[in-house]
Amino acid sequence: MHAHQPDQAVFRSVAPEDIEWEPFAAFPPPARLAVVVGHPEERGPYVVRVKVPSGVKLMPHVHQEDRVYTVMSGVFYIGLGDEFDAEKLAAYPPGAVVVLPGGTPHFHWAKSGEYITQVTAIGPITLEYVNRHDDPRNHPG
């Protein structure tokens, strides 16, 4: 008997129209997260999608887990470092894959319009801002 990964024991597909976009407390309010496969809050593999509307910035933050981003649509702008610096942003078009080692400070900006990325990682999902004042969870309402 083969032991399957969580949420991967039965053949199924997820159509784009079945994606359920939800607010995520660690994101700026307009950004959305959708769980595609797995249970990101638990230990184990997961696949999520992140949708960030035009103009929205995610200030410098780190994830403890290693992540692989696949750009689904739009242009994904990501820069490395503890401070937001537009000069450090690199642009990745749809189809690009970005490998982000856990613990790497980075930031995003939907500079040229909305983008959607797909993130594959091993949970639990984490997001810790470099500057706690940038964390939406510290500013409820």
- Report if residue 121 sits inside a domain: yes
Burial class (CB in 10 A: 0-12, 13-18, 19+), 2: exposed
* Full residue range of the structural domain in which residue 43 is found: 31-138
Number of residues in the chain: 141
pLDDT in tens, 22-32: 999 999 999 99
* CATH code of the domain in which 126 resides: 2.60.120.10
- Report if residue 116 sits inside a domain: yes
- Report if residue 9 sits inside a domain: no
- Report if residue 72 sits inside a domain: yes
Bridge pairing between strands 90-92 and 76-80: antiparallel
Q: CA 91, 72, 19: angle at the middle one, nearest 5?
A: 140
Tokens 């083969």 sit on residue = 2
- Report if residue 132 sits inside a domain: yes
Number of domains in the chain: 1
pLDDT in tens, 75-134: 999 999 999 999 999 999 999 999 999 999 999 999 999 999 999 999 999 999 999 999
The yes-or-no verdict on residue 72 having pLDDT over 70 is yes
The yes-or-no verdict on residue 1 having pLDDT over 80 is no
What would the mean pLDDT of 20-43 be, rounded to a whole number? 97
Residue 34 near residue 117 (C-beta atoms within 8 A) = no
Tell me what the pLDDT averaged over the chain comes to.
Answer: 96
The yes-or-no verdict on residue 35 having pLDDT over 90 is yes
In this structure, the number of other CB atoms found within 10 A of the CB of residue 132 comes to 9
The predicted structure's pLDDT at residue 3: 87
* Residue 6 pLDDT level (bands cut at 50, 70, 90): confident
- Report if residue 24 sits inside a domain: no
Note the pTM of the prediction, 2 decimals.
0.94
- Report if residue 14 sits inside a domain: no
71, containing H or E segment: strand 67-73
